[in-house]
Amino acid sequence: MVVYKLYYFPHMGREEIVRLMFAHANIEYEDIRIPYEEWPSKKSTMPFSQLPVFKIDGDIICQSGAILRYAAQKCGLAGCNDLEMAKADMITECFFDIMLRFPWLETDEAKKAESMRKCLYESVPPSLKQIEAMLVKNGGDYFVSQLTHTDFALLNAGQYLLEHREDIFKDTPILFKHFKKIENLPSIAQWLKVRPGQ
pTM listed for this prediction: 0.95
| Cβ atoms of 70 and 78 closer than 8 Å | no
Compute the residue count for the chain.
198
d(CA 38, CA 109): 27
What pLDDT score was predicted for residue 49? 97
Q: Residues 41-71: pLDDT tens digits?
A: 999 999 999 999 999 998 999 999 999 999 9
Instruction: Indicate whether 61 and 95 sit together in one domain.
Output: no
Total tally of structural domains belonging to the chain: 2
pLDDT > 70: percent of the chain: 99
Same domain? For 86 and 178 the reply is yes
Q: Are residues 89 and 162 in the same domain?
A: yes
Question: In the predicted model, is pLDDT for residue 198 greater than 80?
Answer: no
Q: Are residues 70 and 93 in the same domain?
A: no
Q: Do 103 and 130 share a structural domain?
A: yes
CATH of the domain at 26: 3.40.30.10
In the chain, helix, strand, coil percent, each to 5? 60, 10, 30
Residue 132, SS3?
Answer: helix
pLDDT at 44: 95
Query: Could you tell me if 62 and 121 are in contact, meaning their C-beta atoms sit under 8 angstroms apart?
Result: no
Residues 144 and 59 in one domain: no
Provide the residue range defining the domain that includes 140. 82-185
Contacts of 137 (CB under 8 A, 6+ apart): none
Q: Do residues 167 and 100 share a domain? A: yes
Instruction: Identify whether residues 127 and 46 lie together within a single domain.
Output: no
Say which amino acid occupies 139: G
Contact 144, 87 (CB under 8 A): yes
Q: State the DSSP code for 13.
A: T
Q: What mean pLDDT comes out for the span 131-140?
A: 96
- Whether residues 71 and 88 share a domain: the answer is no
Q: Please enumerate in sequence order all residues whose Cβ is within 8 A of that of 48, keeping only pairs 6 or more positions apart, or say none.
A: 62
Domain CATH for 118: 1.20.1050.10
Average pLDDT of the chain is 96
Residues 71 and 108 in one domain: no
Residues 98 and 173 in one domain: yes
pLDDT digits (tens, 9 = 90+) for 66-114: 999 999 999 999 999 999 999 999 999 999 999 999 999 899 999 999 9
**DSSP type of residue 105:** T
- Do 102 and 49 lie in one domain? The reply is no
